[in-house]
Amino acid sequence: MDIISQLQEQVNTIASLAFNTFGTLQRDAPPVRLSPNYPEPLANSSESATDIAEQPKLMSAALVKAAKQFDALVAALPVSEGGEEAQLKRIAELQAENNAVGQELQKQLEAAEEELKQVQELFNQAADNCLNLKKLD
């Protein structure tokens, strides 16, 4: 897998970890009394307090590890040579090449469409001739 694909995959991993971490923090947060007019909220006793305290630490450690892996991948990117001006020149060259190839493809498409029309006309003529021969019999 190339470096860009690895970076994209790592970004997806970080997003997934962040989503799960925030969701877990939201789910496991202790209830808070919003107003003195409301009764005291009941504590969440589905899991032990130690598991609830450890889970965010483990998830945040995984998030930090994924971020460090992303930083390592970014550091592994090749350094551009020649600076910004050379990059802009290369981009312009690639765009010109892309335009030339696009025009050539457009010409080939038009030629193929014209050939298709001719084949369709010949097919229609052949079909008409076959029908006309059957009528004569």
Determine the Cα–Cα distance for residues 60 and 25; give it in Å rounded to an integer: 10
Higher pLDDT, 13 or 55: 13
Neighbours of 66 (CB within 10 A): 19
C-alpha–C-alpha distance, residues 7 and 14, integer Å: 10
Q: What are 9's two structure tokens?
A: 């995959």
Name the residue among 111, 87, 89, 76 with its Cα closest to residue 1: 76
Average pLDDT score over residue span 14-42? 85
pTM: 0.53
CB neighbourhood size of 62 (10 A) = 15
Q: Is the pLDDT of residue 52 over 80?
A: no
